[in-house]
Amino acid sequence: GPGLVGALLVGVSEAKAISFATGIPLVGVHHIEGHISANFIENKELEPPFICLVASGGHSHIVEVQDYTHYHILGHTVDDAAGEAFDKVARTLGLPYPGGPSVANAAKTGDPKAYRLPVPHVDGKYNVSFSGLKTAVLNEVNKAQMKNEEINRADVAASFQKAVTDVLTEHTIYAARKYGMDKVALAGGVASNSALRASMKAACEKAGIQLYYPAPILCTDNAAMIGAAGYYEFIKGTRHGLDLNAVPNLKLGER
């Protein structure tokens, strides 16, 4: 876990069957731990501790990676995850699913300053909120329709994307400075967004922080990242029995 229970049950059942048939140890892995561990596959020099921004369709976390298997969640989304917000905005603009690539492609020809969208800040320096931003986009589209005006999808996409990347970058850099970290990593499907990477790169260079992120193919859900996380759990001595079950709402750090 966490994730959709049907998919989790299929994976857990297969893993238990292989373990039972071969005698290979069974090691349960946390989904978010997998996304973070994707950074270790290509960035051999990356070692904890560091700050990691995990942004995907179901999760938006700012995590203090204390060790390969120890994590401390500093902040999270209080409503929609970043990837979920991208999907909903794409649907509002009539763009195809998945929303992340669709909005990013549309934003390439848009003006990120064309629409004044609310920056999704909430109380505290680590938590984020995207529901108000999503609603603001919907309002702009509805307003244009009521006036029988053509909405500029590229400008809306670019303005939305900038609002998301700005707040994620700002909060992540703040966390790195607050915790005295000189390394920041990106993880999750949204970590493949070129605008987020560019924003984080500029902010990290300005702050003297080293930035790491996986190849785009390792940002979405994949077996390699789960294998990487499983490797570090195995080295630590983590083992599970055949009573291991899927936990759709499993929190990072729980077993």
Q: What is the pLDDT of residues 156-206, one digit of tens each?
A: 999 999 999 999 999 999 999 999 999 999 999 999 999 999 999 999 999
CA dist 51 and 184 (Å) reads: 5
Question: How far lies 138's CA from each of 21, 78, 89, in Å?
Answer: 53, 20, 8
Beta strands 60-67 and 50-55, pairing class:
antiparallel
Going by their DSSP bridges, the two strands 60-67 and 70-76 should be labelled as antiparallel
Residue 112, preceding peptide bond in cis (omega within 30° of 0)? no
Give yes or no for a contact between 37 and 9, defined as CB atoms under 8 angstroms apart.
Answer: no
- Phi, psi angles (nearest 5°) of residue 63: -120, 135
- Note the pLDDT of residue 118: 83
Sign of the alpha-carbon dihedral angle for 69, 73, 74, 80 = positive
Q: What's the predicted TM-score (pTM) here?
A: 0.93
Q: Residue 66: what pLDDT?
A: 97
Spatial CA neighbour of 254 closest among 14, 69, 62, 38: 69
